[in-house]
Amino acid sequence: MSATNLPWGRIELVEGDITKQEVDAIVNAANTSLLGGGGVDGAIHRAAGPGLLAECRPLGGCDVGSAKITGGHNLPAKHVIHTVGPVYHGGDKGEPDLLAGCYRTAMQLADENGCRSIAFSAISCGVYGYPMADAARLAMTVVAEELAKRPKIEVARFVLFGRDALQVFTDVYRDLAASRS
């Protein structure tokens, strides 16, 4: 799909901690067990409290490229959407399709659950090793396409951990948004 006319203005980029976001849903970069881990997953479970793990346990895990939704428990966000990004093995093992599936499924779940705002972490960009600029281009393109189809979701925010990550996303965003006619 061409970037022409996609709603880039409904995408926000901020530097910060996703556990602090006051949005309808935050998106966790989980693993297939959905039982917690390190990185942003660990931070979300710590901030949400033990009720989140208790709600995740009966979900039976989650496939790579898909997502499941829970409540936000002690977080300011109403919901947590847990998605499982691909481990990066060079980019020719289906990683782009799987990462796109994470963002598409998360947007679909947000819409189905009446979310008007959603905040994403940089899925797969930590220990799973996805190159951040490639992930940023794919993530923002898919999210812009989904926003175009889902008018009830007013804003999608990418919450980047650290200045370097924010800079990468900002550079890619400018490039994508500038390709509008």
Write out the catalytic residue numbers: 41
Site for ligand AR6 in 121-150 (CB under 6 A): 121-128
Cα dihedral 28→58→36→46 (10° resolution): 80
Task: Sort 157 into a burial class: Cβ within 10 Å, 0-12 / 13-18 / 19+.
Answer: buried
Measure the CA–CA gap between 139 and 51, rounded to whole angstroms: 29
86 binds ligand AR6 (CB under 6 A): no
38 binds ligand AR6 (CB under 6 A): yes
7 binds ligand AR6 (CB under 6 A): no
52 binds ligand AR6 (CB under 6 A): no
Residue partners of 155: CB distance under 8 A and separation at least 6: 10, 11, 12, 23, 116, 117, 118
40 binds ligand AR6 (CB under 6 A): yes
* DSSP tag of 85: P
Return the number of the residue (6 or 19) whose C-beta is nearest ligand AR6.
19
Q: How far is the CB of 138 from ligand AR6 (least distance, A)?
A: 14
First to last CA, the chain: 14
The stretch among 73-81, 91-99, 149-157, 159-167 that binds ligand AR6 (CB under 6 A) is 159-167
By the criterion CB under 6 A, which residues form the site for ligand AR6? 17-19, 29-31, 37-41, 43, 85, 121-128, 159, 161, 165
